[in-house]
Amino acid sequence: MAARNQTAAVIGAGDFIGAAIAKKLAAEGFTIFVGRRNGDKLAPLVKEIEVGGGRVFGRSLDARKEEEVVSFLSDADKQAPLEVCVFNIGANVNFPLLETTERVFRKVWEMACYSGFLAGREAARLMLQHGRGSIFFTGATASLRGGVGYAAFASAKFGLRAVAQAAARELWPENIHVAHLIIDSGVDTEWVRERIKEREGQAALDNLDPNRLMPPMAVAEAYWQLYQQPRSAWVFEQEIRPFGEKW
């Protein structure tokens, strides 16, 4: 691994996906800035990356606060030019429309859409000075489909996708690759496994088809493919799903 004089920021490294992205980018030589609420929970990830020879900074970050996003990304850019910014905050909740409180609706939007706008805008501001960069947003099935019980979550994810589209149309000509990666599948995380256990029982979990859930590292690899694309053939959006998934 050759170190690069470039920084990659991962906003929303609280789950397995963000951690996998951080590890992949560290392994490719980037200095990593990872942010999440309760930054102390980042300690194991930071340690794992450092043991592997990577360079990483873990920070507490409430990405719904403009000033925190500004300082997180500008600090990252001071270490080395900000080259990659991945916005990876989800807020997957399911409530019937009538039980969706205004508080839930607003909070899910602030986490999954509004903070993505702030991250994209601020990353763009820094990257425009360097004349290059990649800004990636993590989407979900709910980015394209407002299903039963998903008024709040889908609304936020649809909104984030629009931000990504507008940003891409404005920033691509400036040599900044904006892309939107839609994960149309369950991902193999503790949270997803817990839900399977709740719904289907311990036996279902014990006998889980290894191909049913997407490994977090596969998401990281998908981002790495996007990063490597030549600017003569950029992709804005792609949907990934396991080979056995129904769609």
- Chain residues 3-62 in contact with a second copy, contact rule CB under 8 A: none
Q: How far apart are CA 32 and CA 143, in angstroms?
A: 27
CB of 55 to a second copy, least distance (A): 27
CB of 102 to a second copy, least distance (A): 5
Site membership for a second copy, residue 142 (CB under 8 A): yes
Closer Cβ to a second copy, 31 or 143, answer by number: 143
Residue 174: left if φ>0, alpha if ψ -120 to 50, beta else—which one?
alpha
Closer Cβ to a second copy, 62 or 239, answer by number: 239
* 214 three-class SS: strand
Q: How far apart are CA 64 and CA 227, in angstroms?
A: 26
CB neighbours of residue 12 within 10 Å: 26
Site membership for a second copy, residue 221 (CB under 8 A): yes
Q: Which of 79, 172, 193, 195 binds a second copy (CB under 8 A)?
A: 172
List Cβ<8 Å contacts ≥24 apart for 224-228: 224/24, 224/25, 224/28, 226/134, 226/136, 226/177, 226/179, 226/181, 227/84, 227/134, 227/136, 227/177
CB of 212 to a second copy, least distance (A): 10
CB neighbours of residue 244 within 10 Å: 9
Site membership for a second copy, residue 160 (CB under 8 A): yes
Q: How far apart are CA 134 and CA 164, in angstroms?
A: 12
Q: How far apart are CA 205 and CA 197, in angstroms?
A: 6
Q: Which of 198, 203, 209, 243 binds a second copy (CB under 8 A)?
A: 243
Q: Which of 124, 133, 138, 192 binds a second copy (CB under 8 A)?
A: 124
CB of 228 to a second copy, least distance (A): 8
Q: Which of 47, 162, 191, 194 binds a second copy (CB under 8 A)?
A: 162
Spell out, one character per residue from 83 to 122, where the chain touches a second copy: x when CB under 8 A holds, - when not. -------------xxx-x-x--xx--x---xx--xx-xx-
Using CB under 8 A as the binding rule, the residues of this chain from 178 to 217 that contact a second copy are 185, 211, 214-215
Q: How far apart are CA 115 and CA 132, in angstroms?
A: 22
Q: Which of 47, 52, 169, 204 binds a second copy (CB under 8 A)?
A: 169
Number of residues that bind a second copy (CB under 8 A): 77
